[in-house]
Amino acid sequence: MPVDVVFLEPSFPANQREFARALHAVGARVTGIGERPKEALGDSLREWLFHYEQVGNITDTAQVERVVRRLQQKVRIDRLEAVVEAHVMCAAKVREACGIPGTSVNTTFLCRDKPSMKDALRQAGIPTAQSLGGGGPDEVRAFARKVGFPLIFKPRDGAGASGTTRVDDAAALEAAIGSYKIDRGANVAVEEYVEGHEGFYDTLTIGGRVVHEFVCHYYPNVLEAMRTRWISPQFIATNRIDSAGGYDEIKALGRKVISALDIGTSATHMEWFYGPKGLKFSEIGCRPPGVRAWDLYAAGNDIDIYREWAMAVVHGRPSQSLSRRFSAGVVALRPDRDGIITHYDGVREIERAFGSWIIDAHFPAPGTPTQPVEAGYMANAWVRLKHPDYDELRRMLDLVGRTVKVRARPA
């Protein structure tokens, strides 16, 4: 009997197609639910899908539930999966309403609501930042007096550094209370600023057991990277994760997180800091990482990671071993100003220097409008590289960032 899997929004963003492809490849019968009309999906995606249903809003639980209940009248739905942060709560609610196995509403809530997430981590003995979830201006001011500056303000259910602000003094605190509308009843996460080097720990987990794991490092930390134009930020997936003693503490705490939040069969994404106060875990996601980090894991380990995810979902087991042959990383290349891209400097130099180690690259055509710095690592130009030696890869990525310049003119 085929395993019937419903997959939310198989066509956007672009790498969503890889999840549909992988589910089809491991023998699942895949029904896609998305916002685009079927004729806009493309031939390959339509071939991988057994059936497709269009809805007006993929995050509207009622719309998606109506479709799933209609499907259940014809076949047994074995799994319902979503891998985009904005889609996971809808998926969890529909699963629970329709009796489909998978990540629960409670686990999904804890992986999205930052104050509740941190409360759950602290209760499990997992070190994390002090935090305040909700409260009016007076509660926020009292938290600031207790914890001290700097503080971090962010949406309770935001992804990555989106909407995040660092507050360094009392004047900035009052400004944040106003800009985040806390004085008008808005509910915002306020956290202790954690000093230290930042990275992330990702897994594929089956029944609460880690079957594949990866560690990445940010250079510099995300908040600085997303606010500073001249920096060409990077992150690197290390191939040294299995080195004796090197990442044991991260891996041990990651397993405690999975247990504490009751994550079963899922991809996970966990941000961490290591500094003067030791190792602290920050944001937790029961989904794959963003900015196509999985492509780096695939290139560094000689695997089809999307197929591994599909094997976990459909068959409850992995099918490939990780080679750890390469570290792999990406460097973001920012335009020198906002406006319209005119040309690039230094591209031929890095192609000559690192051609055999380049995984891929993206250089928007001249005439393309620039995207703002805070839009992320892959919003404008970028280059991805791999190399067997982590330190050499860092040197190479640094050199790309110093050499390649994205030139723009005012719009």
Q: What is the CATH number of domain 130-192?
A: 3.30.1490.20
- pLDDT of amino acid 159: 59
CA distances to 103, 112, 160, 252, 327 from 9, rounded to whole Å, are 18, 19, 21, 34, 31
Domains in the chain: boundaries? 3-102, 130-192, 197-409
Start-end of H helices in 180-270: 222-225, 248-260
- pLDDT of amino acid 180: 86
Per DSSP, the chain holds a count of helices (H) and strands (E) of: 14, 18
Give the lowest-confidence range in 61-70, 117-126, 204-213, 391-400: 117-126
Q: Which pLDDT band, with edges at 50, 70 and 90, does 228 fall under?
A: confident
Average pLDDT of span 129-157 = 84
Q: What is the CATH number of domain 3-102?
A: 3.40.50.20
Residue 99 backbone zone (phi > 0: left; psi -120 to 50: alpha; other: beta):
left
Q: What is the CATH number of domain 197-409?
A: 3.30.470.20
Average pLDDT of span 378-392 = 97
Question: pLDDT tens digit string along 40-92?
Answer: 999 999 999 999 999 999 999 999 999 999 999 999 999 999 999 999 999 99
